[in-house]
Every structure is written in structure tokens, then in C-alpha cells.
């Protein structure tokens, strides 16, 4: 099924407001009807210039800079601001169990690509350790014993670390998710 215009608008807005700092920038710009300067946004967010530039690029189409170099919300940016305001309305204590459920469900999503990569690396480290022990036991690597044992210990430590990461952390870091999106596009 092809995406409608409404679907594309929803995707664009939700992706743009998917980060706390970008939502904060939209709120800052939306609170100043005359527009705000780069320096004002920088001071209010506490971001460094690199991070602010990164987030402003992510907000293109929602935020624009005029001839006076003031940042303002576009019509789509105003819709995003209204969406953010609507989300925050009437949140009570009764909503907290639902919010906790959503956050828990979203944090338990480890992408199949990341999980597969980690599983392969665990197997490689374990087979490297076992293969090294087999070669040492048969005397094939006489004279390289110290280096081989060191390599096997490192491989075993890496395997244990990867296994603990895979079992303890259910989410991939943001940079992994961005990398995965680029690879799978």
C-alpha cells in the first residue's frame, strides 16, 4: 500500500520530533513569535555548536531562518508544536502505568541486525578460543604459545563481554540504529 500525503507528513514530523533536543528547539522557537537567534537557541539549550547544527539540520522543513537570521517555525513546524502541546495536555497519574509500559516495550527492542552481529561475534570468539586450544594441544603452534594463549584469553573475554551485553542490554545505542538505517536503506 502506497503512503498517502498524510502518512508522509506524519512520518516527517514524528521523525523530526523523535529526539528530546529537537523537541526543545521547536518549543524555544515557537515561544518567540518574532523569531530567535542562533545564539539565543544555543544559550537556552546548552548545546555546543556542533550538536545544535546537527539538530537544526534535522529540523529543516519545520524551522527556517529568515533574512534577519532569525529562526522561525514553518507552517509544518507550527503543526509539530501543536502536536507536542496536545501530547502534554491532561496527563495525570492514571496515565503513568501506560507510559511505563510504552517505555519498557520500546526499550526492549534490539534490532535483529544488531542481535545477529553480536551472536556471530560471540561464536567467532568462542570458536577462536576452542580452535586455539586444539592447535596448542596438538603441538602445531610450538614456540608461539604465549602469544596464542594471550589471543585466546582476549577472544574469550570479548565473547563473555558480548554475551553479557546481549543479555543485559535490550536496546542498541543510537549510533548503531543510525548506522543500521543507512545500511538497510
Instruction: Give CA–CA dist 112/115, Å, rounded.
Output: 5
Neighbour-count burial of 105, counting CB atoms closer than 10 A to its CB (0-12 exposed, 13-18 middle, 19+ buried): exposed
Check residues 16 and 120 and name the one with the higher pLDDT. 16
97, HSE (Cβ side, Cα atoms, 13 Å) = 1
pLDDT the model gives residue 123: 73
For residue 141, which phi and psi values (nearest 5 degrees)? -115, 40
For residue 17, which phi and psi values (nearest 5 degrees)? -95, 15
The backbone region for 8, taken as left when phi is positive above 0, alpha when psi lies in -120 to 50, beta otherwise, is alpha
**What confidence tier does 168 reach under pLDDT thresholds 50, 70, 90?**
low
**What confidence tier does 88 reach under pLDDT thresholds 50, 70, 90?**
confident
For the segment 106-119, what is each residue's pLDDT rounded down to a tens digit? 655 556 666 677 67
Mean pLDDT, rounded, of the chain: 78
Residue 23 confidence (pLDDT) above 70: yes
| pTM listed for this prediction | 0.57
Average pLDDT over residues 16-29: 92
For the segment 33-44, what is each residue's pLDDT rounded down to a tens digit? 889 999 999 999
What torsion do the CA atoms of 146, 147, 148, 149 make, to the nearest 10 degrees? 50
- 135 contacts 148 by C-beta, under 8 angstroms: yes
Average pLDDT over residues 19-24: 91
- 110 contacts 170 by C-beta, under 8 angstroms: yes
Amino acid at each position: 500500500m502506497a503512503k498517502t500525503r498524510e502518512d508522509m507528513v506524519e512520518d516527517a514530523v514524528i521523525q523530526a520530533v523523535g529526539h528530546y533536543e529537537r523537541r526543545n528547539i521547536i518549543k524555544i522557537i515557537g515561544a518567540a513569535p518574532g523569531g530567535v537567534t542562533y545564539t539565543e537557541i544555543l544559550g537556552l539549550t546548552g548545546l555546543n555548536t556542533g550538536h545544535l547544527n546537527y539538530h537544526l539540520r534535522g529540523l529543516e522543513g519545520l524551522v527556517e531562518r529568515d533574512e534577519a537570521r532569525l529562526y522561525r517555525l514553518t507552517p509544518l513546524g507550527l503543526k509539530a508544536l501543536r502536536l507536542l502541546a496536545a501530547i502534554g495536555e491532561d496527563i495525570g497519574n492514571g496515565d503513568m502505568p501506560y507510559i511505563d509500559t510504552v517505555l519498557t516495550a520500546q526499550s526492549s527492542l534490539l534490532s535483529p541486525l544488531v542481535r545477529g552481529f553480536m551472536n556471530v561475534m560471540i561464536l567467532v570468539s568462542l570458536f577462536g578460543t576452542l580452535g586455539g586450544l586444539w592447535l596448542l594441544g596438538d603441538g602445531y603452534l610450538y614456540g608461539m604459545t604465549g602469544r596464542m594463549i594471550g589471543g585466546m584469553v582476549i577472544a574469550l573475554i570479548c565473547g563473555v563481554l558480548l554475551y553479557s551485553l546481549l543479555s543485559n542490554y535490550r536496546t542498541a545505542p543510537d549510533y548503531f540504529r543510525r548506522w543500521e538505517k543507512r545500511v538497510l536503506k
